[in-house]
Every structure is written in structure tokens, then in C-alpha cells.
Amino acid sequence: MIRRLRGNTQPQTSYKAQRAQPVINPIALQPEPDGVQRRALEVSHNRLMLGLGLFTVAFVVIAARLAMVTLMPGDHDAMRVAVAPSADRADILDRNGVVLATSLTTASLYANPHQIRNPDEVAVQLADVLADLPEGPTAAKLAADKSFIWLKRNLTPKQQQAVNRLGVPGLYFQYETKRVYPQGNLTAHVVGFTDVDSRGLAGVERSFDDVLAGGQRPLTLAIDVRIQHILHEEISRAMTDFTAIGGAGMVMDIQTGELLAMVSLPDFDPARPGEATADARFNRATLGTYEMGSTFKLFNTAIGLDTGTTTLAGGYDATHAIKIGRFSIDDYHGKHRWLSIPEIFTYSSNIGSAKLADAFGAEVQKTYLQRFGLLAKSPVELAEVGDPQYPKNWKRVNTMTIAYGHGVSVAPIQVLPAVGAVANGGILRQATLLKREAHEVATGTRVISEQVSAQMRQLMRLVVQVGTGKKANAPGYLVGGKTGTADKQVGRGYSENSRMAVFVAAFPMSAPRYAAVVLVDEPKPNAHSYGYATAGWVAAPVIGALVQRMAPLMGISPIPDDSPLAQNPLVAMVADYDSAASKKAKSKVIQVSAPTKDSPAADSDNDDAAPVFKAKPFGATPVSATSSDVTTPPAPEAPLETGGLPLAVE
């Protein structure tokens, strides 16, 4: 059984796991390349990588160029705009930080004529959006055989946008900086102006061109725009009222020399100086030189007192005109009697002033005028400054006429510091347009004694109280000053119908801080001036209005009339200029002679002696009579070729 079963059993198939056979790469079966083939492969590989690198670089360049074309117009766009530069010229500010000049970035239009297809058509299109581009000249420019031509500088944003909308190929913009003047005409002669390339041509822009160009810090001036505006407005009003051809004025801090205001009229727009006339661009305050008339009696009297030639108790006989050859020196509305020094000054006597000058002489006069800075060009920081004119051969007649402001021509910028020196204690500080800190103020130069300065303040105040300058009075502010009306020179002579009306002033007389000068050129009489066009009617009211408006801004409190600071004892010694008492045959001050051993001293307490002021108004010192208090008229001289002696009106 067992065998049978075994015999019937089918043989079973044996399954065993077979290991996977690797796939053989036919190339791998090839023999390794020899040296020649290996080098060939390496060269091919390097070339492939180099080509890939060059392709990558080209792609990057193209992508960058596409980005530049998309984000920034390129050289071949219809409108090419250069990168806007930063404003590299410093601002000019007033003393309180008000902007007087600054720079703005603007677009300027230019063209490449080689890219303009139809110059005539483009010129018409430009004329439609830029009215100041005439078609004919513009078409000629666009047809020129050039690759660059300016069409218009410093476009406004609206103008730039209008040109852009034209979409004309060949028109481009370049950004530049343009100088702008927010105050316009108000500070034109002070700030000046620049050319289209921002180079200073006049005013502070010119004198500080190196400082402003590329400067990061603003230039701060001493000018106060508030005072500038007041002065500008008041001089303009006077010019209108008296139909004058011009005017000028300045205000100075006499303790520091800082100029708070400088006005010259007519003026101009510094943004468009090319449209202004030569007269408008002319700075009457610094460049013009004039005979200043009786304002020079301020210096003449100060010289007489400082040299001891006379005292406030002295005087001269002004009864008759001074005869010099075929000429004479006379008074305008003279009193025709002996006049005291206060009366000579207050009534503006030419005769008395000439005799005083004759007493101290030409050399003394010349020396003092040099000390006052009246015979040298002003050092103020402007290029537009005039040179004074004075006699080369300083004769006796010159000494007499210069005493009342004729025979020497000076700029108002020279007169103002000299007035300050007379009023501030005798120290001359030259005018400056730059703001000064306390430690930067110049010490100055003494020109007259402090005592004489105090006496001159009395006299200056007297002119405004009872003299020719009453219309300069500003209640509470103790204004003092001096009028001056001078005939203008015409050739070698003088015009009787053309005059210069001047007023110089300082305030407050109790402690002077500010000085001012106002000049009105060729005023004409009007109805409310009763036919007069003298300084008392024309220039003095400008000072009065200026002080009343300016003083509160500067923190000056008004002084009551009954305050000891407001008292001036000289008023008791001088009758009002317009009163009948001033025309009486005798002065309120008794004419005195030199005291002798047989006569009472002039400064004694004897009631019969000449009256002497012993009070100390405005810090003055007592005065006394001296032997030089009275002089006789000078002896006549031989005829002099002077071309005529002018008459100082006030």
C-alpha cells in the first residue's frame, strides 16, 4: 500500500527565490575614454557653462533695463527728467527767523532739436501752454542744428504738467533750484537777488555769496520784518502825499549797530529784477550820496561843545547875513537877532551855525567829521555803497557851508551811525546787517564826550518840542532829532525847486536805544502843508508815525509827560519856533560877554548874571558861559568860485 501510494504520487516542483539581476548600462560596458576624449569632454562642459553664464548676465541686464524704463524715464523717452538736486543755497532769515530768501526745486524745459520732427508744430503746441514762448523764436530754436537748447527755466508745477501732457519726443526737463523771496519788494534792496544759476548779483545775496552757496546754516540778518514793513509803509505814504520821486529810511539799534530796517523807494520784485528800472534797483539808503542839509548842524553843534568853542549858554549874532565876496549866508525865516546855542540849533540858523564852525576852524571840523565816519565809505555789508564827496581844498567858505550840510555829500548809511554816536553817549558803532549776539557787539570808538552827548540829547529833544521838528513827536517816547532841507545840485549849481527833505532822530531821549533817518527825494508842496515841502512837513511826520508804531513792538513803555525823565529845562530858554515870542528882538538867554575880574562870574548865583542851566535833564551836566560864547561875524573874503552858495532851509 505504501509503495502504491508512493508510486502514484506526482513529483512536486521546487520554487526558490531568485535574486534580481542588475540592469547593465551599455555605455558603462564601454571602455573609459582615453586622454584625448577626456579633454574634449571638458572643453564641451566649459563652453556649456560659459554660455549659460552669459545668458544669465544678459537676462539680468535686460530685466534691469526693463525696470529702469518702467520706473524712470530713459534717454529715449519723450520726456526725460533729471534727478532733482537738493537746494544747496542757504536761506536768509530776519532776526526773528522769518524767511527772506530760500531755494525751491523747479523743472526747466530744454529740447534736443535733432529729435524734434516738426519744429513749427511743436512751437505752436508750446505757445498754447507757455504763453511767454513765442512761436517764431521757439520754432527757430527747435530747428537749430544742436543737440541741446534751453526753452524755459524754472517752470511751475502746472506748467510742467501741461508740457508733459503734450507728449512731444525731444522735449526734456532738468531739475534746478530757483531762488524765491517770500517778502517780495519789502526787502528787495537788503536781500538783493541772484541770477538763474543762483549766483548773487546784488544785496546780501552778492556780498555773502560764498557763505550762502553750498551753505547748510541759514544767514540771519539784523533786519526785523515788522519794523521794515512799518518804515516802508510810512515812507510810501509821504511820497504819495508830496508827489516825491523817491525815498529812503533806516532804523538802527545804537547800542549794537544792528540795522533793524532799510528801505529804498521805488523798489522792485527781486524774483524779477530784469523787469525793474535802474532807478528802482538803485539803493538810495546806501549807494546814493546827498547833501544832507541842516541835519549836519547836529554834528556842528556837537563839535563846538566838545572842543569848548562854545557852551549851551553861548550864542552868536544872527541879525545880518554873512557876506563872502559876492555871496551870502542867510537864514530861512530868520529871527534877525542874537541867538543862543539852543536857539541856533532849534531854529536851524545857518548864520549861527556858520559862525560857530568858523570859530573852531576847518581842521577841527574835518577831524571830527572823520571821527564820525562821514568822510569815509561805510563798511556796511553791501556792495552797493557810495563814496562821500568833500572838498579837496577845505577853504573857509567850505567850513561855513558844511556847518549846515552843504559842500559835502554823504550816504544816509553814513549819517545814521553818526547820529547814534551823538545820542548814545558819544560812542560810534558802525552799522551792520548781521544779527549780533551780546558778545559779538563791537566796543565802538568814542567821538565826543559823554557830557556833550547828554547836552546834545537836550537839544535834539528841544527840536521836537518847540522847534522845526514838532511833527516828529510821538507822545510818551521822547523823540529827539533834527530837520534838514537841502537844495539838490544841478550841474555846478543848485536847483531852487528840487530839494531833499531829511529827518534824523533817536529815541527815547532819556535812554536812547534806536536811531532813524528818513529821506524824501524831491517832495512837492500840497494843500495841507500850506505850500511847504520842507523836512518839518515831509520827513518829520514819518518819524513820528514810525516811533508810535514801532516802540510798543520793541517793548518800550511810554513815559508820562510829568515824569522827571520827560523834563527838559532847555524848553524854558527857547520860545516856540512858530510863536510870536521867537521873533522878538531879544533872546530868552541874555547875551553875555567873557567874565572879568570887575564883573560877576557867569555861573555865579548873582541874579544879575547871565542865566545858566544847572539842572541835569537826560543826565546832562551844568553849563557855564565862556569867552568863546559870543563871536563877531567873520571878515569878508575875496570872491570865491563856488558856483553859488545854497540856502539850508531848516
Residues designated catalytic:
294
Taking alpha carbons only, the member of 535, 519, 427, 424 closest to residue 472 is 535
The Cα 382–Cα 266 span in angstroms is 19
The Cα 567–Cα 48 span in angstroms is 108
The three-class DSSP label of residue 269 is coil
Specify burial of residue 599 (Cβ count, 10 A radius: 0-12, 13-18, 19+): middle
241's enclosing H/E stretch is helix 225-241
Cis link prior to 646 (omega < 30° from 0)? no
The Cα 80–Cα 103 span in angstroms is 23
Specify burial of residue 73 (Cβ count, 10 A radius: 0-12, 13-18, 19+): middle
The alpha carbon of residue 77 and the mean position of all alpha carbons in its chain are separated, in whole angstroms, by: 46
Residue with cell 568822510: 375
| DSSP annotation string for 237-267 | HHHHHTT-SEEEEEEEETTT-BEEEEEEES-
The three-class DSSP label of residue 173 is strand
The Cα 256–Cα 242 span in angstroms is 34
Q: What is the largest CA-CA distance in the chain?
A: 200
Burial 107-133 (b: 16+ CB within 10 A, else e): bbbbbbbeebeebeebbebbbebbeeb
8 Å CB contact between 224 and 435: no
Backbone phi, then psi, for 195, in 5-degree steps? -90, -175
Residue with cell 544785496: 203
The Cα 428–Cα 320 span in angstroms is 36
* CA distances from residue 19 to 13, 16, 25, 92 in whole angstroms, order as listed: 19, 10, 19, 97
The three-class DSSP label of residue 214 is coil
The Cα 388–Cα 292 span in angstroms is 12
Backbone phi, then psi, for 23, in 5-degree steps? -85, 125
